[in-house]
Amino acid sequence: MAPKQLSSAKELIRRAKVLMVGAGGIGCELLKTLALSGFEDIHIIDMDTIEVSNLNRQFLFRQSHVGQSKAKVARDAVLRFRPNINITPHHDNVKDPHFNVDFFKQFSVVLNGLDNLDARRHVNRLCLAAEVPLVESGTTGFLGQVTVHVKGKTECYECQPKPAPKKYPVCTITSTPSKFIHCIVWAKELLFAKLFGDKTQDNDLNVHSSDTSSSSENLEDVFERKKDEDIEDYGRRIFDHVFGYNIEMALSNEDTWKNRDRPRPIYSKDTLPGKSIKHNGNISKNGSTDDTPSLSAMTSLGMRSPQDVWSLMENSKVFIEALKLFFTRREKDIGSLTFDKDDQLAVEFVTAAANIRASSFGIPLHSLFEAKGMAGNIVHAVATTNAVIAGLIVIEAIKVLQNETENYRMTYCLEYPNRNMLLMPVEPYEPNKSCYVCSKTPLSLEINTHRSKLRDFVEKIVKAKLGMHSPIIMHGSALLYEVGDDLEEDMVANYAANLEKVLYELPSQVSGGTTLTVEDMQQELVCSVNIKHRDEFDEEKEPDGMVLEGWSQPPPEEKKEANHTVSNAGTSISGGPVSKSSEVVEIITVEEELEAAPPKKRKLTTIIDRGAASPGGYSSIPNDTDNRGKVQVVDDDDEEDMVMLDGAPGVFDGDSDTSKKRKLV
């Protein structure tokens, strides 16, 4: 770069106002790199506080910072070595109303280092409305990606469908599990929730156990602890019910097991010693604890390594011990608990319960370390990958500031070299003409308008799949639903009443052929939904009782310089959280997501060999390169950003053992 150009670039960087969303694994590296690259006006948004598990990779944080705001501590840490720059932290949720389009308009570029799909979609829409360029990113292990999204010039973040949460029919979870992940879902979403969560919530566990002479009216919920019942007796009763009696009940349906291996009932008397598992230390009876996260059934039982695969007896001991600790040391929390991957006792209980159930169904047992990864949706992060991705983000941000559209690159970080390359640059794609977000293409919804309520449409479609947080729903000029703090009481009551009405009975009748307009004022997003009436749905394949379409897209046009052309398509709306229903349980795990995603090919434009003078700053890719690795971000409840290779040859080729990684060839 000529001295004059270099000086101009430095000035652009110095004067740029940058918004960083996320101050975690990628965010720490990104803030450091921005500061050392000459950026002097940086805003950071992050709602999280620092946890001990962050410290192995989020290098701006120390033990003394645990519990403090990530955004604020990151700012203070960077100002110690770059004291003359301006860093403004926001310890808030990026979806808060004050982070609106006007707020986004003040920035030169937005840089994402987020850990969930919903927030990514929200930021994408605000950037489109504010016409501010967005640089998106994600990492998992050795894999990573950086993509550039500029309104009207490149595809937006939502132009391509994202992996949907893996959903399992309840009949599989409760009756016929065949994989360990099924046992994890059962232990986490059903058993743990039933024992320690909200008792008023519906649950698909069989809660009744009685002899056939008892009337159904007199059946008791076996999960209710009897007055003055010994805690170990209660634990054994629960054990015998869920692992013994319920299995016997399932075996009574002979048709179910004609083509399946029959499970074996397991009772506590067969796996546990006579009575009372010995404790290392005393258990308090007052229901209090000084250090909840450190409570551990493993510690009480003298078990150490989370890498060990426990025997059936050891799992049974951990199950009873964990239950006893919950009811003696954390009694005040029972009734309001939800599973948390950072709650050691909860992880131990779920691991033990899943393993006992797996043993019953002839499924291989797993260690606590493996079970925690599945239950907590954890992909272990690699700090070096975060650093590489942060550097690539800054490179693309500088290109955006210089308006070097022709040099934008989507770059994928690979685990294994391909043609001696670990970084794979790809030219961005044009906006998808079928995208309802940036191209305003109408969506189509198949739904039973005589059975489905407006609430179903709002929760399962507008919020869960369209990602709108403050929706307005209109039929022509009739306003059917609206949310907002400034609404009159009678309007709030009217909209609440509408939610409970089936679509066909709304004041402005919704039936087949109707077009609804859905708008989110904060995101400044408007889309049209064409309603198609349909009477019946497959409960297993279409558990929501409705099907949203609108992401099917035309075949990609051929580019003359491209040697490898493939489809660039999705089929229907996916991604985003799906509302719980009585027919389906959902969970996201890396292994399951990789296995579930069908290979999709995308056109990789051959980069012309420009040598060291390449404007993109990358080595050339030989014309015979055939690497179709496409990394897609998926949701993750952990701090790490998760990505997945989509159709990369030789990496995940449909084999069921997706945890085995092979070199790209």
Which residue type is seen at 614? Answer: S
Q: Is 278 assigned to a binding site?
A: no
Q: What is the C-alpha end-to-end distance of the chain, expressed in Å? A: 35
Q: Containing H/E element for 324?
A: helix 312-329
- Candidates 34, 114, 103, 113; CA nearest to 75 is 34
Q: Is 438 assigned to a binding site?
A: yes
Which residue type is seen at 62? Answer: R
**How many other CB atoms are found less than 10 A from the CB of residue 277?**
17
Q: What is the pLDDT of residue 52?
A: 81
What region, left, alpha or beta, does residue 507 occupy, with left being phi > 0 and alpha being psi -120 to 50 degrees? alpha
Virtual CA dihedral for 30, 33, 35, 40, nearest 10 degrees?
A: -70
Q: Could you tell me if 637 and 53 are in contact, meaning their C-beta atoms sit under 8 angstroms apart? A: no
Q: For the chain, list the domains and their CATH numbers.
A: 3-163+380-408 (3.40.50.720), 180-362 (1.10.10.520), 443-549 (3.10.290.20)
Q: Could you tell me if 628 and 614 are in contact, meaning their C-beta atoms sit under 8 angstroms apart? A: no
Q: Is 218 assigned to a binding site?
A: no
How many whole angstroms separate alpha carbon 445 and alpha carbon 480?
17
Q: Is 70 assigned to a binding site?
A: yes
Q: In angstroms, what CA-CA distances link 217 with 85, 212, 220?
A: 71, 12, 9
| 286 burial type by CB count under 10 A (0-12 exposed, 13-18 middle, 19+ buried) | exposed
- Candidates 125, 113, 627; CA nearest to 392 is 113
Q: Are strands 41-45 and 86-90 parallel, antiparallel or unpaired?
A: parallel
Q: In angstroms, what CA-CA distances link 181 with 177, 371, 575, 590?
A: 9, 9, 20, 11
Which residue type is seen at 59? Answer: F
pLDDT tens digit sequence for 175-187:
889 999 999 999 9
What region, left, alpha or beta, does residue 420 occupy, with left being phi > 0 and alpha being psi -120 to 50 degrees? left
Q: What is the pLDDT of residue 627?
A: 37
Q: Could you tell me if 570 and 459 are in contact, meaning their C-beta atoms sit under 8 angstroms apart? A: no
Q: Is 93 assigned to a binding site?
A: no
Helix (H, G, I), strand (E, B) or coil at 585: strand
Q: Is 57 assigned to a binding site?
A: yes
| 566 burial type by CB count under 10 A (0-12 exposed, 13-18 middle, 19+ buried) | middle
Q: What is the pLDDT of residue 533?
A: 95
Q: What is the pLDDT of residue 341?
A: 86
How many whole angstroms separate alpha carbon 633 and alpha carbon 596?
14
Q: Is 115 assigned to a binding site?
A: yes
How many whole angstroms separate alpha carbon 480 and alpha carbon 633?
34
Q: Is 413 assigned to a binding site?
A: no
Q: Is 274 assigned to a binding site?
A: no
Q: Is 535 assigned to a binding site?
A: no
pLDDT tens digit sequence for 412-427:
999 999 888 999 999 9
Q: Is 527 assigned to a binding site?
A: no
DSSP per position, 136-174: EEEEETTEEEEEEE-TTTS--TTSSPPPPPEEEEHHHHH
Q: Is 337 assigned to a binding site?
A: no
State the catalytic residues.
171
Helix (H, G, I), strand (E, B) or coil at 528: strand
Q: What is the pLDDT of residue 560?
A: 36
Q: Is 435 assigned to a binding site?
A: yes
pLDDT tens digit sequence for 142-156:
999 999 999 999 999
Q: What is the pLDDT of residue 650?
A: 31
pTM value surpassing 0.75: no
How many whole angstroms separate alpha carbon 136 and alpha carbon 145?
8
How many whole angstroms separate alpha carbon 283 and alpha carbon 350?
21
Q: Could you tell me if 9 and 403 are in contact, meaning their C-beta atoms sit under 8 angstroms apart? A: no
Residues lower than pLDDT 50 in the chain = 211-218, 277-290, 551-665
Q: What is the pLDDT of residue 165?
A: 62
